Amino acid sequence: MIEDILEYNKRFVENKGYEKYITNKYPDKKIAILSCMDTRLTELLPAALGIKNGDVKMIKNAGGIISHPFGSVIRSLMVAIYELGVKEVMVIAHSDCGACHMSSAQMIEHMKARGIKQETIDMIRFCGVDFDSWLYGFGDTEKSVRETVKAILDHPLIPEDVHVSGFIIDSITGALTPVVA
């Protein structure tokens, strides 16, 4: 499959398919969007919001959550805010998310089935990784959005003048529903 992608990329560049996407690193709308990595959102989210290449900074991960107060999501938001001029943050979760009700115990079983040894898991636990909190998803999408918005608003390194709001997008229709903090 990767070979097919590389072949497509070669033709894309040769045919100058990139020209319509040329922009700079600064988001025109001064917005960063934290959302889930779900495949259904790849084209649906930008289309439903009317955004195009260059409009916003997109940060995606499993569940669109902040799993650590000094992890990659907060780091990305800080770069977007302090280096790239972002003034607003949208947290956008979605319906029927795979991270909803995700279980760390089940994930560990999947790891072991794929060849990860129990000793490796135990060693990582011994080093301080709490698999239960790190691999847990969430049980309630609205609550998860509220908690993520609060984590951004309460973060000591995020300036108070950044507006943060939360939403849930319907994975099928693209309808956006605000989540009240």
**Binding site residues, as ranges?**
36, 38, 94, 97
Locate tokens 């490796």: which residue? 120
Q: What residue ranges in 16-162 does DSSP mark as E strands?
A: 31-36, 56-61, 88-94
- Provide the edge-to-edge strand list for the sheet that holds 31-36: 56-61, 31-36, 88-94, 163-169, 176-179
Q: How far is CA 148 from CA 39, 78, 155, 167, in A?
A: 21, 15, 11, 11
Is the dihedral angle over the CA atoms 36, 42, 48, 51 positive or is it negative? positive
Amino acid occupying residue 111: M
What residues form the annotated binding site for Zn(2+)? 36, 38, 94, 97
Size (the chain), residues: 181
For residue 135, give the nearest of 115, 106, 113, 114 by alpha carbon. 106
